[in-house]
Structure 1
Amino acid sequence: FFLGLPIYISHLSSLLSRALLYLIVEPGSAQQIAWSKQMTSQDATVNSVLSLFAAHGQRFEARNVATTAHRVAKIGRKRSHRLKQDNRVKALVTACLNSLNDFEAQHLANVAWAYAT
Structure 2
Amino acid sequence: FFLGLPIYISHLSSLLSRALLYLIVEPGSAQQIAWSKQMTSQDATVNSVLSLFAAHGQRFEARNVATAAHRVAKIGRRQGHRLKQDNRVKVLATACLNSLNDFEAQHLANVAWAYAT
TM range (shorter): 0.7 to 0.9
Residues 1:57 and 1:17: Cα distance change in structure 2 (over 3 Å):
same
Residues 1:3 and 1:103: Cα distance change in structure 2 (over 3 Å):
same
Matching residue of 2:8: 8
Residues 73-113 of structure 1 show CA distances to partners (whole Å, capped at 9, x for unaligned) of 00000011110110100000000000000000000000000
Conserved 8 A contact 1:45-1:75: yes
TM-score, length-scaled by structure 2? 0.79
- Across the aligned residues of Structure 1 and Structure 2, the Cα RMSD in angstroms comes to 8.2
Which is worse superposed, 7-16 or 92-101? 7-16
Instruction: Count how many residue pairs are aligned between Structure 1 and Structure 2.
Output: 117
Give the superposition deviation at 1:28. 0.3
Residues 1:34 and 1:4: Cα distance change in structure 2 (over 3 Å):
farther
SS in structure 1 at match of 2:2: coil
Residue 50 of structure 2 is aligned to residue 71 of structure 1: no
1 CA distance for matches of 2:21 and 2:53?
A: 26
Which is worse superposed, 98-107 or 10-19? 10-19
Q: Which has the larger radius of gyration?
A: 2
SS in structure 2 at match of 1:92: helix
Q: Which runs of 5+ in 2 are unaligned?
A: none
Residues 1:101 and 1:9: Cα distance change in structure 2 (over 3 Å):
closer
1 CA distance for matches of 2:19 and 2:37?
A: 17
Give the superposition deviation at 1:2. 51
TM-score, length-scaled by structure 1? 0.79
